Every structure is written in C-alpha cells, then in structure tokens.
Amino acid sequence: MATPVVLIAGDGIGPEVTSAMQEVLEAAGAQVTWVEAHAGLPAVERFGDVLPQQTLDLCRRYRVALKGPCTTPVGKGFRSINVRLRKELDLYASVRPVCTLPGVDVPYDNVDLVVVRENTEGLYSGQEHVVVPGVVESLRLITRFACERIVRYAFELARQQGRRRVTFCHKADVMPMSDGLFLAVAREVADEFPFVGFEEMHVDALCMQLALDPSRYDVLVMENLFGDVLSDLCAGLVGGLGLVPGANIGTRCAIFEAVHGSAPDIAGKGLANPVALIRSAAMMLEHIGQRAVAARIEASVRKTLQAHAGLTRDLGGDGNTATLTKALIRNL
Ligand code: NAI
C-alpha cells in the first residue's frame, strides 16, 4: 500500500528539483502518494503567509513530509519558514549524513559521518532584545531536556547504524554554564551506551581536524549554531550543498529536505541539480520502511556520478536538470 507523504515543492528551483525527484522515485518503484502542500513565495500569493496553517496541519496529520527549498522574503516581516517548521512541529534533530561519493573531485577519501544538530534552542532560540540603544542581547538557551534528547538521538543513531563513536562538540571552557550543562548531560547519556565510543572536542579544534582528516569522524552531535556552521562545512568536504541530503526529525513528525536554498540565480533555467533532494527522498523512503527502493536510488546516484553522466554545471558537467534526471533513471 502506498504511504501518503506531504510534498512541499517550495519556490525558486524547488519545483524543478521536486518534479525530477518525483520522476526518479516513480521509476524506482517507490510506493508513495503525494499530498500537496504549500510554502514559500507561492503560498504568500495564495494564502498571505509563507507557511500557511494548512501546511502545518497536513504535516501533523501525515507525519512525513518532503520539502523543496523556500525563499524567506527579507525585510517583509516574515520569519524563516524552516525555523518556524522546526518550532511548530518540534523537529528537534537535524540529521545530515555526509559521505564521499565516487566521481566527485574533493581532496578527501573515506568520509562517512553524520552531523546531528540540536534544532530548537541555543543561540537560535529567537530570544533577542535591545538593552539600551546600541546594545543588543541574544539569549543562548540551553535546557537539560533538549540536551538529553539530542545526545540520546545521536547515540541511538550510532547504535542503529553500527557506528563506532559519537563526538560531542562544545565550547564549555568559554561558556561554562550553558555548554557546561550540555557537556555534563552528554557524559551522562554516554554512560548509558558503553558499546559506543564517546569523545569530547572543542568546536574550533574540531573544525581544524575536519579540514585535516575528516575520515576519522563518525557521528558528530552539537547545539544549534555550531551545528548550522559545521553541517555546511561537512557538506563542503564531499562536494557541496547540491549533493547532501538532510532530515529534521521530531517525535511525531519528520521533514526531509535538501540543505541548499532556492537558488534564485538559476531558478527557471532548468539548470538545478536535483541530487540533494533525491537523496533526501531516499532518506525519507528508509524512514517509512522502503529500504530496498532507497538503496536502489542511492546506488543509481553513485553510478551516475562515477560515470559523469548528464551532470549539471555545479558538478562540473555540461548537462542540466533533465539530462541528470534521465541518467539517474537509466542507472536505477
Ligand atoms: P542557495 O543555496 O539558494 O544558493 C547558493 C549558491 O548555490 C547559488 O549560486 C546557487 O545557484 C547554487 N545552488 C544551490 N542549490 C543548487 C542546486 N541544487 N543546483 C545547482 N546550484 C545550486 O543559497 P542562498 O542564495 O543563500 O539563498 C537563496 C534563498 O534560499 C534565500 O531566500 C534563503 O532564505 C533560502 N534558503 C532556503 C533554504 C531552505 O528552504 N531549506 C535553505 C537555505 C536558504
């Protein structure tokens, strides 16, 4: 029986990469019924909001969604759609698997790590105020509850995927209260998983080590701002945002999405690389139990990249969205 999945095409290159993804999933035999929902610029025109209530209701009802990128209009009073989605649906874990792909020219081999980022608080809790004119304060909110559930999520993921080690990334020497609490909780949770290795690292040292030898890392877990920066850094280690999938997971709902934005500079030109969204869709299929189809899609991505077949310009090819989609379908 087909599983209903909420589909938010987004805007900019969103609709282009979404229809490429749908073609590949259909050819791969995914058993999915798409439930269309709106967000981004088309939703403003139709519903007066970048993230209409109906979209949130559909995500709550069906519990699994696949989302294309959405533009957040700057200076028009709209809050970031992604921040709102994470808050409203309590999508507390951002999960980004990062691995070396064949045929992609990068300086590193054997990268195979997962970045697990706390998605709901830290410096992105949205608590800012003007103290006096010229002085602004941002609150870095850290709670035991959120620390515990994100570190536990990272260890559970390591256990399920047979990974060897969780690296907790922090700056407790400079922020002894907030990151001190996070670190203390991470150590407590680590004690519950003696069969998974645990390592603590300062975020600055970790960035340097990742640049020197990313292959020694396995699962990385951290607070929101560090995670935002580190997950893009890690995407860069394996070829960039056009390739890396992502998921935002909550207790009741999960939204899968490519990590790149709406790329207004190439929107509507048929040049967008759909691989990141297609790999996010493969993660979604795994989440709903369609593992064989997910594996077939991932294998096709690897084969296509290795053969340099139909690749888009960001991947060094001279093809476009259509040629890459065709190659991916041929290689299924
Ligand atoms: P961006 O990721 O849209 O673009 C950065 C550069 O990467 C551009 O040169 C673009 O052409 C290229 N690029 C991105 N994805 C590509 C793809 N799939 N294929 C080929 N080239 C690709 O980042 P930018 O310009 O900072 O943001 C544009 C808009 O997207 C903003 O309104 C931002 O708020 C929004 N955004 C939305 C996200 C989401 O919905 N998940 C995430 C990041 C940004």
- Closest listed residue to residue 209, CA positions, set 243, 174, 234: 234
Within 6 A (CB) of ligand 1 lie 13, 17, 69-72, 82, 241-242, 257, 260-266, 272-273, 276, 312, 314
pLDDT tens for each residue of 180-209? 999 999 999 999 999 999 999 999 999 999
Q: Which of 124, 153, 179, 217 is catalytic?
A: 124
pLDDT above 70: residue 238: yes
Check pLDDT > 70 for residue 78: no
Rounded distance between C-alpha atoms, residue 53 and residue 58, angstroms? 9
Q: Residue 71's pLDDT is what? A: 86
217 annotated active-site = no
Please say if 109 is a catalytic residue. no
Closest approach atom of ligand 1 to CA 10: 40
80, pLDDT greater than 90: no
Q: Which of 11, 179, 218, 228 is catalytic?
A: 228
Q: In terms of Cα–Cα distance, which of 216, 217, 243 is closest to 232? A: 243
Q: How confident is the model at residue 298 (pLDDT cuts 50, 70, 90)?
A: very high
Mean pLDDT confidence for 247-275: 95
Paired tokens of 125: 């809790």
**Ligand 1 mean position, distance from CA 303 (Å):** 25
Spatial contact of 210 and 233, defined as CB atoms under 8 Å apart: yes
Q: Which two tokens stand for residue 299?
A: 């294998």
Pocket test for ligand 1, best of 104, 260, 313 (most atoms within 8 A of CB): 260
Same CATH fold assignment for domains 1-91+241-332 and 107-237? yes
What b/e string do you get for 54-86 counting C-beta neighbours within 10 Å, with b at 16 or more?
A: ebbebbeebbbbbbbbbbbeeeeebeebbbbbb
Task: Please calculate the CA angle 92-97-99 and round it to the nearest 5 degrees.
Answer: 165
Give the containing element (helix H, strand E) for 247: strand 247-249
pLDDT of residue 83: 84
Type of residue found at 136: V
Strand, coil or helix: 73: coil
- Asked if residue 160 has pLDDT above 70, the reply is yes
pTM for the model stands at 0.95
Q: Which are the contacts of 101, defined by CB distance < 8 A and separation ≥ 6?
A: 238, 239, 243, 301, 302, 305
Say if residue 45's pLDDT is above 90. no
Amino acid at 312: T
81 pLDDT above the threshold of 90: no
Nearest protein Cα to ligand 1, atom 5: 263
User: How many A from CA of 13 to the centre of ligand 1?
Assistant: 9
pLDDT of 240 strictly over 80: yes
What is the residue with the minimal CA distance to atom 24 of ligand 1?
261
Distance from residue 11's CA to the centre of ligand 1 (Å): 11
Q: Where are the domains of the chain?
A: 1-91+241-332, 107-237
Backbone angles phi, psi at 221, to 5 degrees: -130, 140
Provide the CA 252 distance to its chain's centre, in angstroms.
Answer: 17
DSSP secondary structure code for residue 243 in this structure: T
Average pLDDT, the chain: 95
SS3 for 88-117 is HCCCCEEEEEEECCCCCCCCCCCCEEEEEE
- Residue range 1-91+241-332, CATH number: 3.40.718.10
Tokens found for residue 196: 């998974």
* pLDDT value at residue 77: 64
Flag whether pLDDT at 213 surpasses 90.
Answer: yes
User: Is there a catalytic annotation at residue 92?
Assistant: no
Helix or strand or coil: residue 194?
Answer: coil
Q: Return the residue matching tokens 């299924």.
A: 332
Q: Which residues contact 248 (CB under 8 A, 6 or more apart)?
A: 82, 85, 86, 91, 93, 94, 95, 119, 254, 255, 256, 257
* Residue of 84 and 37 predicted with greater confidence: 37
- Fold classification of 107-237 is Isopropylmalate Dehydrogenase (3.40.718)
Does position 82 have pLDDT exceeding 90, yes or no?
no
